[in-house]
Amino acid sequence: MAPAKFNNPKKYSKDPKWKVKIYDNEPPYEDPHITIIRQQRGGKPKQWRINLRTFEIMDTSPPKKDLPPEFVEEVKNKKKEIYKKWNEMYPNNPLPENEDDKEEGKEAKEKKVVVKIKKPKKKK
């Protein structure tokens, strides 16, 4: 399966230096994320990974200030499309595709398990 590509925000739509992708070789233990890439002239591209559950930037480098906020907003605006594609590519690490699924997941996380441990009786 090839990486999934998404359109850039309108302001950057004709700028070939920027790309938004879901790579097709993500490790199963990583949080679901989308990668925003900015090609550098004669150098290594800058890449930001945005967590698709929290919409936070996952890495400290490159700096957050170098990523235009329009990209994070665009990811939020296209959440349903992105979640659907992520789930097709990574069915073992799914994202909720509708709000009902999200609430069920939230409730499951909030449930606490209480285990009572009995103290052993003292021998006389």
Residue 4 confidence (pLDDT): 82
Side chain identity, residue 119:
K
Instruction: Tell whether 124 is covered by a domain.
Output: no
* pLDDT lower than 70: segments of the chain: 1, 99-124
Instruction: Tell whether 118 is covered by a domain.
Output: no
Over residues 40-63, the pLDDT tens digits come to 888 899 999 999 999 999 999 999
User: Between the CA of residue 104 and those of 30, 76, 90, 91, what are the distances in Å?
Assistant: 21, 20, 20, 18
Residue 119 confidence (pLDDT): 61
Residue 41 confidence (pLDDT): 86
Residue 100 confidence (pLDDT): 55
CB 9 within 8 A of CB 67: no
Instruction: Tell whether 33 is covered by a domain.
Output: yes
| Domain, as residue range, for 57 | 4-110
Instruction: Tell whether 122 is covered by a domain.
Output: no
The helix, strand and coil proportions of the chain, stated in percent and rounded to the nearest 5, come to: 30, 15, 50
Q: Which pTM does this prediction carry?
A: 0.73
Instruction: Tell whether 91 is covered by a domain.
Output: yes
Residue 111 confidence (pLDDT): 43
Instruction: Tell whether 22 is covered by a domain.
Output: yes
Instruction: Tell whether 24 is covered by a domain.
Output: yes
CA distance linking residue 17 with residue 82, whole number of Å: 21
CA distance linking residue 13 with residue 67, whole number of Å: 15
Number of domains in the chain: 1
Instruction: Tell whether 115 is covered by a domain.
Output: no
Question: 57-75 burial string, b = 16+ CB within 10 Å, else e?
Answer: beeeeeeeeebbeebbebb
